[in-house]
Structure 1
Amino acid sequence: MPIDAAKAVAAEPRSAEIGWDHKDVQLYHLGLGAGVPATDPDELRYTLESRLHVLPSFATVAGAGMGVVGGLSAPGIDIDLAAVLHGGQSITLHRPLPVSGRAVSTSRVAAVYDKGKAAVLVLRSEAADDDGPLWTSDAQIFVRGEGGWGGDRGPSERLDVPAREPDATVERPVREDQALLYRLSGDWNPLHADPEFAKLAGFDRPILHGLCSYGMTLKAAVDTLLGGDVTRVRAYRTRFAGIVFPGETLRIRMWRLAGPDGGPDGGPEGQVDGRNGAPDGQADVPAGGRIQITVTAVERDDAPVLADTVVDHS
């Protein structure tokens, strides 16, 4: 079997020094569609170096996303990258991200699950600087055709959508050139730029990066329900449920819920699961509020894009 689960999980973590500055942060924000309108004071927090703050999802591209790359090359992992799908992503923030910095990123295979027709790798990266931990990030990677060895199936959590109207619904357009800009932050997969490669992968045209939709959604939640304060985000997770084509529009529905230890603001129908909600194996986030989100593609009759999406916040 190309995946040796025991060997992969037991392998020594890999560490690398990563660094970023305001230009990397600004480029990432622009890749998410920030800066419209260009002179809007709220948007200048994402684009102007003298006012800059850092959207926590920047952790997925800091150091060009080396945590995932390191995990896919770990001992015990020998797979065809054409069979790989990004199934989900989670981040736990230990403190606000600085506009510029250097850190040591440590990556490892935290778990390998047997889903029958596929394997799921949980690739964990942890970053820390001289002042201590910054973030913990988990990427859930599906590898088609690599399951069936009788291993642990792992968790299978699905969230019911609250049985009430969303507290906020916003639409965010995806520019025709957005994938071309977003890929400059480090994901050079030609699936997002080359029409011929996209056709070989079964798509009519290049698709948007899942992590771009992920970042756009967090920005919408911060701007709409958290007063534009990125430092309130404690954890953020999602499941990638479908694709997005550049030129489409994301419809982002958001429900305010109480913190992980309490009931929701809107009544018991909105409760998530009564626990902290941090990704498996990660540190719990402090009690506070929670936003549950669904994301769909407007032009394709609300086809699912992101599901089981939660922002935990102070």
Structure 2
Amino acid sequence: MPIDVAQALAAEPRSAGIAWGHKDVQLYHLGLGAGANPDRDTPATDPDELRYTLESRLHVLPSFATVAGAGSPGVISGLSMPGVDVNLAHVLHGGQTVTLHRPIPVAGEAVATARIAAVYDKGKAAVLVVRTEVADADGPLWTNDAQIFVRGEGGFGGERGPSARPEPPTGTPDRTVERPIRADQALLYRLSGDWNPLHADPEFAKLAGFDRPILHGLCTYGMTLKAVVDTVLGGDVTRVRSCATRFAGVVYPGETLRVRMWEEDGRVRVTVGAAERDDAPVLTDTVVEHT
């Protein structure tokens, strides 16, 4: 079998130096739609958008942690760890958690260390948990946990992994916003480092079972966190402590995200659906912890 669980878990972590600057942060934010205010009557020079796009006012959205130092150890590196040999066309991003230890600086140098933290057997698929820990000279910055589904690689008799899921939020959401996705957004977002052809190449997308390229799940993740920061946290990115989600469905460029938010003490629970497809679920089990 392509995944040797014992070898994958025993493999030495991979570390590499990473660096980023304001242009990397700006490109990432633009890939999330920053500057294209959903209110068509509001110009891109709206101060609320300039904090994501203008270097003299720049704040770093915490989800930047998923792309900082493009090409560093991370999800793609995890898929090439000893004991892991999988077909990229069978890979889907199942979930993501980013935990912030302190605010991300606009520019920095750090060391990213990635390892396979767990391998679960879901029957028809295997799930790899790729953990990436990032620290600079002042200490830990953030921890990324990516849950990667590999179709067709389950059934090896391993642990199924955690099964408990939070109850979905009930009642009327405290806030609902819509975020349009540009037709070219996946092409722009991939410049931040996710080069999976699933998001750009129609022929590859068909091999993976989709009729056309789909948007990166982490782009939807970042757009959702931005919506929460902008509407609930007053635009203050430093208030975010963590953001966890489960990818429940695909998004196609040109669609509209409908983001529903329920505010609780110290956290915001979120669901995201594709508005044009009767709110087909896109992100579930989404929780933003904050101060």
What is the TM-score when the length of structure 2 is the normalising length? 0.95
Which residue number in structure 2 is paired with residue 296 of structure 1? 273
Which residue number in structure 2 is paired with residue 43 of structure 1? 49
**CA-CA distance at 1:75 after TM superposition:** 1.2
Distance between the aligned counterparts of 2:264 and 2:193, measured in 1? 34
Distance between the aligned counterparts of 1:163 and 1:214, measured in 2? 21
**CA-CA distance at 1:200 after TM superposition:** 2.8
Tell whether 2:194 aligns with 1:187. Answer: yes
Stretch deviating more after TM superposition (57-66 or 29-38): 57-66
**3-state SS in 2 of match to 1:107:** strand
CA contact (8 A) 2:126 2:151 kept: yes
Structure 1 gap ranges (5+): 259-288
**3-state SS in 1 of match to 2:106:** coil
Which residue number in structure 1 is paired with residue 20 of structure 2? 20
Distance between the aligned counterparts of 1:297 and 1:88, measured in 2? 18
Distance between the aligned counterparts of 1:206 and 1:69, measured in 2? 19
CA contact (8 A) 2:89 2:207 kept: no
Distance between the aligned counterparts of 1:77 and 1:230, measured in 2? 36
CA contact (8 A) 2:95 2:245 kept: yes
- The Cα offsets for residues 98-120 of structure 1, whole Å up to 9 and x where unpaired, read as 00001000000000111111111
Distance between the aligned counterparts of 2:189 and 2:109, measured in 1? 22
How big is the alpha-carbon RMSD for the aligned residues of Structure 1 and Structure 2? Answer: 1.0
**CA-CA distance at 1:150 after TM superposition:** 1.5
**CA-CA distance at 1:65 after TM superposition:** 5.4
**3-state SS in 2 of match to 1:39:** coil
Distance between the aligned counterparts of 1:8 and 1:228, measured in 2? 40
Distance between the aligned counterparts of 2:206 and 2:170, measured in 1? 39
Structure 2 gap ranges (5+): 37-42
CA contact (8 A) 2:257 2:275 kept: yes
Which residue number in structure 1 is paired with residue 97 of structure 2? 90
State the percentage of identical aligned residues. Answer: 79
- Map 1:1-314 onto structure 2 (within 5 A): 1-36=1-36, 37-64=43-70, 66=72, 67-258=74-265, 289-314=266-291
**CA-CA distance at 1:206 after TM superposition:** 1.4
**3-state SS in 1 of match to 2:97:** strand
Letter in 2 for 1:80: N
Distance between the aligned counterparts of 2:211 and 2:124, measured in 1? 26
**CA-CA distance at 1:162 after TM superposition:** 2.3
CA contact (8 A) 2:96 2:144 kept: yes
**CA-CA distance at 1:161 after TM superposition:** 2.2
**3-state SS in 2 of match to 1:213:** helix
Distance between the aligned counterparts of 2:191 and 2:143, measured in 1? 23
Query: Number of paired residues?
Result: 284
- The Cα offsets for residues 69-108 of structure 1, whole Å up to 9 and x where unpaired, read as 2211111112222211110000100000000001000000
CA contact (8 A) 2:241 2:290 kept: yes
What is the TM-score when the length of structure 1 is the normalising length? 0.88
Distance between the aligned counterparts of 1:108 and 1:249, measured in 2? 35
**3-state SS in 1 of match to 2:69:** helix
